[in-house]
Amino acid sequence: MDFIHESVALGVDLLILGLCVREYASYKNTVKVLKAAPQYNIDGELKNIVARQHDKKIPYAVIRGTVTPIGVPLRSSFVPTVSGVLQIVKLHEHRVMRAFAGFWAEQRKLLHESTNEMPFELCNQQHGVEIVDAISAAVLDVDVVYDNYESTSLSFFDHVFGFFTGVRQKGLQTTEQVLRDGSFLTAIGELEMDGQTLRMQPSKQGPLFLTTATKSTLIKRFEDAKSSTLFKIILCSSVSIVLVGLIVRKVYRKKRQEREEAKIRTRLESERRERRARSRPHTLTQDQLCVVCSTNPKEIILLPCGHVCLCEDCAQKIDVTCPVCRSKIGSKAAAFIA
């Protein structure tokens, strides 16, 4: 195929376009549900409000309060003065890899991640809402309390080994993130009354958010992301249109070329026929003439039956059986009658 490159590029472009459209739809949905989500104060009234709802649930609601551990808070592993309710420790490997065309590129690879969670509430004075499954939140604003990078000292053997494998370790980075107790957060999710406790958990309508931003800031962020995705969609579509245009033009040109070639072939063929007709003897008896057209002399022998009964033009059209004896035609050859 002449347009294989364009087709591959179009395929990749359409794939990216599809991903962008999906991302756009998800941002659009998030903005919609965020705008529709009602905001409640955590106070004595909230339990009554939720209890009055169908299934004792508000599918997507916004609350704001102070993070308060239920029980003894977690201690940070690296900074003992810090306490919180959620701890994420990550170990990253920094390395250089031989990438495209022999260049070395830096990479960061997650080697290990551990999380530690304990029950906590968002509180306002003596009232609180328990947060369930905080770790699954789409936006989770935690503080980085520890970040340490140790570069690896490579031995001669490591250098040689790295040269052949194309991977060289540069260092290890350890980070610890903690959701501190006492931080003021906005939580968005499903609000449910379970017995006498209020809970906020991941909702079917939209993602769970645990963020220091307010609802309006969050909406603004998602609207910005939505517009930048829309820009990507427009860009990808334009590229697709250009590629489709290129392919169509190539196909059209190829067809036109084929048509012109066919025209030239038929013209040459008819000219050849005319030339042959002019050079033929004009004084022929009836049995010297082709049995099909009765114009041209007999010129072709059919095998295996051996009948010389066709001119060259008619022999081109007759392939299956001999017009005289009806036996199958195996092959044809020029006959020279001297």
Amino acid making up residue 214: T
Q: Extract long-range pairs of 97-100: CB within 8 Å, 24+ residues apart.
A: 97/166, 97/167, 97/168, 98/166, 98/167
Distance of closest approach, residue 266 Cβ to Zn ion, in angstroms:
19
Distance of closest approach, residue 303 Cβ to Zn ion, in angstroms:
9
Residue 125, judged by CB atoms within 10 A of its CB (0-12, 13-18, 19+), counts as exposed
Kindly tell me which of 235 and 305 has the beta carbon lying closer to Zn ion: 305
Residue 86, number of CB atoms within 10 A of its CB: 24
Kindly tell me which of 126 and 283 has the beta carbon lying closer to Zn ion: 283
Kindly tell me which of 204 and 326 has the beta carbon lying closer to Zn ion: 326
| DSSP 8-state assignment for residue 279 | H
CA 27 – CA 193 distance, rounded (Å): 29
Distance (Å) of CA 108 to CA 79, 103, 158: 24, 16, 19
Distance of closest approach, residue 262 Cβ to Zn ion, in angstroms:
24
Q: Checking DSSP bridges between strand 74-75 and strand 83-98, what pairing results, if any? A: antiparallel
Distance of closest approach, residue 288 Cβ to Zn ion, in angstroms:
12
Angle among Cα 240, 245, 246 to the nearest 5 degrees reads 100
Distance of closest approach, residue 263 Cβ to Zn ion, in angstroms:
25
Distance of closest approach, residue 306 Cβ to Zn ion, in angstroms:
7
Look at residue 8 and give its three-state secondary structure.
helix
Cis status, amide bond into 38, omega within 30 of 0? no
Distance of closest approach, residue 302 Cβ to Zn ion, in angstroms:
6
Amino acid making up residue 57: K
Candidates 52, 86, 81; CA nearest to 70 is 86
Kindly tell me which of 92 and 307 has the beta carbon lying closer to Zn ion: 307
Binding site for Zn ion (CB under 5 A): 290, 292-293, 296, 305, 307, 311, 314, 322, 324-325
Kindly tell me which of 131 and 311 has the beta carbon lying closer to Zn ion: 311
Kindly tell me which of 11 and 306 has the beta carbon lying closer to Zn ion: 306
Kindly tell me which of 229 and 296 has the beta carbon lying closer to Zn ion: 296
Distance of closest approach, residue 333 Cβ to Zn ion, in angstroms:
14
CA 108 – CA 93 distance, rounded (Å): 6
Kindly tell me which of 38 and 304 has the beta carbon lying closer to Zn ion: 304
